[in-house]
Amino acid sequence: MEVKQRLIFPLDVSSLKEAQRWVRKLRDVVGVFKIGLELFIAEGPKVLEAIREESEADLFLDLKLHDIPVTMQRAARKASLLGVDILTVHMFAGRQAVRKTVEAVEGGCKVFGVTILTSHTRADLMEIGYSPELSRDLTEAVLRLTNLAYRAGCHGVVCSGKEVKVVKEAFRHLRTIVPGVRPQWASDPQDQVRVTTPYEAIMAGADYLVIGRPIREAKDPVEAASKILEEMEQAFLAREA
C-alpha cells in the first residue's frame, strides 16, 4: 500500500461545492477522503458520487453509527451499497449491534469501531458514568472496546495515537485509524487533547492517519500534505527496519 493511501483527509465542510474544491486540490496527495456528519447531513448520499467523479481515492463515511441493532444493520447495508470503502460505528452500541453492522455491509466495505474520542479526557469519562478505574486508565478503556470490536468482527478500530501501540500489540491483525494527529509545525490542536505527530503515530503502529487542520489551514495545503507524506514514509521505513 502506498503511503498516500494511508493519509485520510476529513472533508469538514458544509457544501458539496467546497468539498469538490478540496478533493480537486488534494487528490494527488491524499488516498482517502472522509465524509462526516456535517457534510453528509448537508448534502446527502450524492456527495459520495460527486467525490468519486473527482478522485480515485477511497471514501470513508464517518457516521459513528450508534443505535439499536436493526437500525444499524439497515443503515450499514445502505451505506455499503453507495460504494463506501470505510464505515464507522461507535462501540458503545454494543457487540450485538456492531456484529449486525459488520454482517450487513457488502462490496468490500470495511467497518471500523470507534473506541474513545480523542476529545475525551478522564474527567469526561467520569462525567458520563465510566467506572473510576477505567476513567483513570484510558488505555484500559480503549482495550476493552477494541476487544469488543474484535469479537464483533470489525476490520479495525479508531483510537488515538496514545493508545495505538497497546492496541496493535494485543490485536495485531486489526487495522487502526488514528485521528488527532498534528505535525510539530502545525497549529494548536484546539478541541483534541490526546494528539501525536505523524511519525509518532506510525511508529506506534497506526495504519491510517486522519489529518485535517494542518493541511486545510496551511498556506499551501498540497505542500503541507506532501510534507506529512514524507514524515509518514520515514516512519514506515524506520518501523520496518
The answer to whether residue 64 is catalytic is yes
- Of the residues 4, 34, 64, 162, only one is catalytic, namely 64
Q: Which helix (H) or strand (E) holds 104?
A: helix 95-104
What is the structure's pLDDT at 135? 63
Q: pLDDT tens digits, residue range 56-68?
A: 999 999 999 999 9
Mean local confidence (pLDDT), 120-146: 80
Q: How many domains does the chain have?
A: 1
Q: Which domain holds residue 129?
A: 3-240
83: exposed, middle or buried (C-beta count within 10 Å: 0-12, 13-18, 19+)?
Answer: middle
Strand (E) positions, the chain? 7-10, 32-35, 58-65, 86-90, 110-114, 156-158, 175-178, 208-210
Q: pLDDT tens digits, residue range 16-51?
A: 999 999 999 999 999 999 999 999 999 999 999 999
Determine how β-strand 156-158 pairs with β-strand 175-178: parallel
pTM of the entire predicted model: 0.92
What is the structure's pLDDT at 234? 96
Give whole-number Cα distances, 33 to 137, 184, 196, 220, in Å: 32, 23, 21, 18
Mean local confidence (pLDDT), 111-131: 83
Task: For the chain, give the mean pLDDT.
Answer: 92
Q: Give the separation between CA 139 and CA 169, rounded to whole angstroms.
A: 12
What is the structure's pLDDT at 188? 59
**Residue 193: is its pLDDT beyond 60?**
no
What is the structure's pLDDT at 190? 53
CATH number at residue 73: 3.20.20.70
Give whole-number Cα distances, 119 to 29, 98, 124, 191, in Å: 27, 23, 9, 6
Q: Give the separation between CA 63 and CA 237, rounded to whole angstroms.
A: 33
What is the structure's pLDDT at 192? 52
Q: Is the model more confident about 25 or about 190?
A: 25
Mean local confidence (pLDDT), 167-175: 96
Q: Would you say 175 and 156 are in contact if contact means Cβ atoms under 8 Å apart?
A: yes
